[in-house]
Structure formats: C-alpha cells, structure tokens
Structure 1
C-alpha cells in the first residue's frame, strides 16, 4: 500500500510541475523545458526520415523517386492525427488554464479514439486505390514498381503514426515534453539501426526500408501506451470519457481542420513539384525529394520547439495572463529566427556537400538539388517568424485566422506559383517556387500579426475592467 501511495504522490508532483511550467515559470525556462525535448525528438524523427532517403539513394533513381512520391501520401494519413491531436491540444491547454480537468479528460479521450477510427478508414481507402493514387502523385512508369513495394507496407503502418502524432500533441499540451521526446527518440534510433540492416544486409531493398519504418513507428506507439497505462498523463483516456459531442468536436475541429488542411496542402505541394519535375526526368524528382527532406529537418525542429510555445500561449490566454503571453511571443520569435538564420546559412555554404550525400554520384540530380537547396535556404531564414504566428492563432482558438495563415505557405501562395512559374521559367520555376511563396507568406503574416496584437490589447483591457 505504501508503494501505491508513494507512486501516487510522485505522479501528482509531476503533474503539478507541468502546471507550474505552463502557468508561472520564467518564460525562458518554460520554453526550454517544454519546447527543447520535443524539438530534439522531432529533429531526430526528421533525421530518420533522411536515413531512409540516404540508404535508399544507394539503390538508384527509381527507388529514390519512389520515396519522394509516397511521402505526401503518408503525410495525408498523419494529417488526421494532427487534426485531432493539434485541435485537441489547443483546447486542452485552455481547459487546463481554467482548471477544468473533467472537460480535459473528455476532450483527450475523444480526440485519441476518433483519430484512430478515421485513420483506419483512410488507410483502407488508400490501400484499395493505391496504384491510381500514386500515379496522381507523380509516379512515372520506372518509379511505380518501387513505389508500390514501399507504399503497401508504409501506408498500413501509418495507423501507428496516426496514434503517435495525436498523442504527441496531447502530451505536449500537458507539458510532458520528455515523454514526447523519448517516444520519438526510440523510433528514430530504431529506424537508423534497422534501415541499413533490412535494405542491404538482408537484401530486401526498398521493402526493407518500409519494414524498418513500420517497426520504428510501432515502438513509438508502445512508449505512449506505457505513458497512458501507467497513469503518468494528466488525462485518463478512459473509454467512458469518449464524448463525441457537438461542442467538443467543434472546439477540436475549428483548430484541427486548419491543421489538416495545412498537412494536405503540404502533400499537394510535394505532389505538384513531383508532377512538374517528372517532365525533366527521374533525376529531377529525386533531387527535389532530397531537398524536401533536408528542409523538413529544419521545419520540424521549429514545429517541435513551438509545441512548447503553443502550450504556454494557450494556457496563458485561458488564464487571461496577457503579460506572460506577450513575453512568450517575443522570446519565441527571437529564438526561432536565430535558429532559422543559422540553418539557412549552413544550407547556403554547404549545399553541394549536403546534396552529394543523396545523389550517389548522379551529377544531374546533384546539380538540381544544390540549386534548389540554396534558394530554399535563403527563404528558410524567414520561417521562424511565420511559424510563431501560425502556431499562435491556433493556440488562441482563432481557427479562421489560423487556417488562412497556415494555408499560405504551401497553399494559397504556393499553388498559383507552382502552376504558373514553370511555364514561364522552366525548371527554375520549380526550383524557386517555394522560396517565392515563402516571401509572399511573410508579408501576409506581418499584416495579420499587427491585427492580432490590437485584438489582444483590447482583450487585456476588458479582462482588467472585469476584475
């Protein structure tokens, strides 16, 4: 009995520490404690995506192109996890800020079980219509056989990733950053170890890459299941708390749908790049695919760090602590911008060396990839500022504004550019389409940020008058 009580006290103490980080700890310490572990986890997660590209690159252009073609398909499936996870995380942070634990339990349980159900349905549909979907995503006749071998395993295994992404967002909302980092770290280390073993030692080729990824995703799922079953979470996840009410779904989806839309647009942008690049051969598809994965390393680090910011922003807004909210915004902009500028400079200076790791001696692929990486490195310097505000709108429950801003970079601004520019500028139009869309998105962000700060100032005055 003593052991049970001691464990109970430990769990309560952990939960109180999480609430202290969200509500009262110095901003710098809170951002470091909540953002850095998730950032490290997502960085390693992004790195193991690069591992697939690196090892598969040794198999030739066809398998390399297949990885690029299948990638957006997996992103759409994972988008469901983001829709329920990120939508719930925003609401959960605000509920915790108000002290509503019962409501938070219902939201967390509803989000988790809903994501699993809808993820399974989508995976079944994709599996049935796999070949025509891959064709739409830009698979050429030479790439298609490899894409089918990889996708048949990878897409089914995405059910684990749907669960993982949902849980990653939920545990971030409660301040359990170390759990999120540990889960992602385990999956990454496994994939880094298993990919070369299955691909080359067992001579399984691209099928081995898919199996390694599936095993790694399952391992991450086990970490989150342990977190739930050992009652380490601030939420119960009991099936009796599954409450698919109109109010809960409205709160989840008003933030979740913009997030899903962003994910779909990300997949669409990659598919459009692949389709436009297919006219220039498999080397162009493979080169742009490598650039996409390298840039994803940087973007996922920023997203990971800002998970901590989102939790603090939502909690502070729910508690009407506007001073803390402003401090969090300012510090997050400063830190994320410093990081993005540093990464951008690295991509500029070492572009040829970076792309050479994936080209396997293919000079055409290397030339295309290097040129695109330089352009994307320049525009990446602006990514931190953009992402702080796209995350902030969602954290505050501003679904419409979050949707508009989140859809800018790879949707509203990108799609017209990628559809028009290649016809005017040829291959260069493909290489520079994302950087041009990035610059336009920053201009939109500045205007929306100014309007948001005026709204926050008004809300602060109203909160002070109601005291």
Structure 2
C-alpha cells in the first residue's frame, strides 16, 4: 500500500477529521475577531457612538492585512498539503520557508506605507469630520501591531496543515485574554479612550505572534531552514496562485467596508439617524457578523488539508464525502446565526451603546434587513474552499469574489441611489441569494465532470 494512504487524513473518519481541524481554526478566528469586538464594547461604553464610528473607519486596515495574511497562509498550507499528499517533502519545506520570508516583507511594508499615507487612508475609509482625529489616533497605534497579526493569521493555516490546529488556538486565546484584561485598564483606568483600546490590542497581538513563531522548530512534517528563505519565483507563484482566492475574498471585504462606510456617511446624513450613528451601527454589525463568519471559515478551511491530501492521493470519494459533510454543517451554523440575528437584534445593539433610542432603533432595523438571507451564507464559502483545496483557484476565486465584489458592492451603489440608506442595507441579502445560486451551478458542473472521468 502507498505509504500516503496510511496517513490519518486518508483513513480516519471524515467527521472526526473535520471536527479536529475546524473547531480550533474557528475558535482561533473568533478569538482574533474578539480583539475588535472587545475594543468596540469598551470604546462604546467610554466614548459612545463617535468612538465606535472611529474604530469602524479604521477597520479596513485590519481587513487588508488579513487579506495579505490569508493569501500567504492559505496558499502555503494548500501547497504543503498537496506536496505531502504526493510525497514531495522537499517542496513542502521550500514552500514554508518562502512563505515565512514573504510574511516578513509584508509586515514591514504595511507599517511603512500605512504611516506615510495614514490621513489619506482614513478619509478614503469614510471618516466624517467628527471622527477623523479619533480614527487617525487609533489607526496610528494599530499599525504597529498589524505585522504580528499577519503572522498570527498566516500561521493558523500553516500549523493546521502540519496537523496541530490547537496550538494556534491557544496562541490567539492568550493574546485575546491579554487584550480583554488591558482594555479597561487603558481605556478607563488611564482614561485613554480609543488610543487605550489600540494599545491593548497590539500588546495582545505581539504576544500571540511571538508564540506562533516559537512553534517553528516543532513542525512535524516540515523542516525549516533559513537557507530556503531565498525567494523563488516558482514557489512564490504557487503560494499566490492557491492563496489568491483568500486574498481577493478579504480585499473585496475591505472594499465593501469602505464603500458601505461612505454610503452610511452620505445617506445616513439624510435621515434622522445621522452619519455617525449609521457609521457606528454598520461597524458594530460587521464585528458581530464576523463571529458567525469565523465559524464558517473554520469549517471551510478545516476541509482544506483533508481535501488537499486526498485529492493529491487520488482518494476522490473521500473528497466528495468531506465536501458534503462540510456543506451540511455550514448550513446548520448559518441557520442558527440567522435566528440569533433576527431574534436578538436589540440585545446585540445594547451591548455597545446604551440609552440612545435612535441608535437602538437603527440597530434593530439594520440587523434584521442586512441578515435577512444569512441562513444560506455558509455553503458558498465551503464550496470555494473545496475548489481551492483541489487546485482549481480560479473557480474558488470566482465564488469568493462573487458576494462582495460582483454582487453586494454594485447592488449597494445602485439601490442606495434609488432608495437611500435602506437600499444600501438590502443589497446584502440580495447578494447572499445570488452567491448561493452561483455556488450550486459551479459544484454541479464540477461533480458532473468527476462522474464523466470516473473519479466517483
């Protein structure tokens, strides 16, 4: 028997493997998003609507860095899984070393460019006159923690491909705990407001980043050598090719945030709520939404090492079985979060800002419309991950980009021009429906091709 077929990825029950890889990944991302949620809650209680709006305006910076991290980490992890499935140990080692070098380059680039163009970026991100200074102060501090966040997110995927997703979960949890403890100290104790939230965040990110780097000598299936860090065009191309769907998914999310921030500013001013409440509420909803998104990323990303290895080993029936189970799980998760969003919209808003009737009213209105079709949000993500894992990045890219870039942004711009603020909000459920339809079409044609080639 081929030694690869003795690997747990090829013989263990799919449900056990999916649980093993998905849960730590989801928890890791949830903890990472909690950095921003905790900031929002404490800032909201201390500074109010303007403070939340300021951190929301700064948030695209984090999303852009997340795009860089996921491109490098997911691309590296997908290639490592495929190489190991084919028995190409040396190529797997080279892939990791090149990815590590790229992360260093990207981290330095973000700090330098971000500081040079900070004020221009804040304006592009949708800052109003009343929140500009707070957003700039928060962003200027956050920039110095973003290189460590890039390492954290990238290593989540890479260490997962090495078979130890629990380690990154622990790293993120330690960083989050530090952030939670230090937030009230800096925000309330030292009366530092949004700047205090930023300082607490980067300290947590720094600790998590260092803990991830400590894992390098502990890799089971990869050997790291500094000599392999010399960037090779072919290796970098493979990392970017399989990581580009993750990059464009996140970068389109950043563009969506920027567009929606500006629509909230423009059309919110024409309502009784005003620009700051609209900006604040949108930012708050995006943070809460990311908790659900993180769970679904955990499911979809958790399938990658399983599908990548088994596709490389030509175990096609296991790939199909993994996909079917992942789609079912992602649908159930989406349905549960849909019920939470619809049933607890008012409670969610009160966590951030209290005793503001206009804010409370708009929060309930926004959440119930924006999340109207969330029960079908998960399956397209799982389908995109499936295509990424089997080495078909362009189909993954098409599906990954569809919700934000192809559907939500154009619809938000068009509908808001007709219906104002509500038009921008209702674009989200419309985009979810169209994305689900595209996922069904793509996977139907793919499995039909598999049957034609006798893979299944």
Q: In structure 2, how many angstroms separate the alpha carbons of the residues matched to 1:459 and 1:204? A: 63
Matched with 2:100 is: 112
Distance 1:243 1:212, change over 3 A: same
Matched with 2:130 is: 142
Cα distance, 1:372 vs structure 2: 1.9
Q: Check conservation: 2:412, 2:425, Cα contact below 8 A.
A: no
The 3-state SS of whatever aligns with 1:150 is helix
Of 21, 31, 46, the match for 1:34? 21
Q: Check conservation: 1:81, 1:119, Cα contact below 8 A.
A: no
Give matches, 1:357-436, under 5 Å. Answer: 357-436=351-430
Matched with 2:253 is: 266
Q: Check conservation: 1:198, 1:205, Cα contact below 8 A.
A: yes
Matched with 1:11 is: none
Q: In structure 1, how many angstroms separate the alpha carbons of the residues matched to 2:39 and 2:417? A: 32
Q: Report Cα offsets for 1:388-423 as digits up to 9, x if no partner.
A: 101111111111111111101111111211111111
Give matches, 1:221-370, under 5 Å. Answer: 221-229=209-217, 231-279=218-266, 280=268, 281-370=275-364
Q: Check conservation: 2:159, 2:165, Cα contact below 8 A.
A: yes
Distance 1:104 1:428, change over 3 A: same
Cα distance, 1:60 vs structure 2: 1.6
- With structure 2 as the length reference, what TM-score do the two structures score? 0.94
Task: Say yes or no: does 1:208 pair with 2:202.
Answer: no
Q: In structure 1, how many angstroms separate the alpha carbons of the residues matched to 2:441 and 2:380? A: 11
The 3-state SS of whatever aligns with 1:432 is helix
Cα distance, 1:316 vs structure 2: 0.9
Q: Check conservation: 1:77, 1:123, Cα contact below 8 A.
A: no
Of 444, 447, 453, the match for 2:438? 444
Cα distance, 1:458 vs structure 2: 4.0
Structure 2 segments unaligned to the other structure (5+ residues) = 269-274
Structure 1 segments unaligned to the other structure (5+ residues) = 1-15
Q: Check conservation: 2:371, 2:428, Cα contact below 8 A.
A: no
Distance 1:233 1:57, change over 3 A: farther
Q: Report Cα offsets for 1:41-61 as digits up to 9, x if no partner.
A: 222322332111111112122
Count the aligned residue pairs: 446
Cα distance, 1:459 vs structure 2: 4.7
Distance 1:198 1:314, change over 3 A: same
> Which shifted more, 335-344 or 37-46?
37-46
Cα distance, 1:446 vs structure 2: 1.0
- With structure 1 as the length reference, what TM-score do the two structures score? 0.92
Q: Check conservation: 2:110, 2:143, Cα contact below 8 A.
A: no
Q: Check conservation: 1:379, 1:438, Cα contact below 8 A.
A: yes
Q: Check conservation: 1:269, 1:415, Cα contact below 8 A.
A: yes
Q: Report Cα offsets for 1:177-225 as digits up to 9, x if no partner.
A: 1112111211122111111111111211111100111011111112212
Of 147, 159, 163, the match for 1:171? 159
Of 152, 169, 187, the match for 2:140? 152
Task: Say yes or no: does 1:49 pair with 2:36.
Answer: yes
Q: Check conservation: 1:80, 1:119, Cα contact below 8 A.
A: no
Q: Report Cα offsets for 1:339-388 as digits up to 9, x if no partner.
A: 11011111111111111111232222222221221123332211111111
The 3-state SS of whatever aligns with 2:231 is coil
Q: Check conservation: 1:287, 1:359, Cα contact below 8 A.
A: no
Q: Check conservation: 1:112, 1:166, Cα contact below 8 A.
A: no
Q: In structure 2, how many angstroms separate the alpha carbons of the residues matched to 1:252 and 1:459? A: 28
Matched with 2:115 is: 127
Q: Report Cα offsets for 1:11-31 as digits up to 9, x if no partner.
A: xxxxx99x8442221001111
Q: Check conservation: 2:72, 2:154, Cα contact below 8 A.
A: yes
Q: In structure 2, how many angstroms separate the alpha carbons of the residues matched to 1:256 and 1:374? A: 33
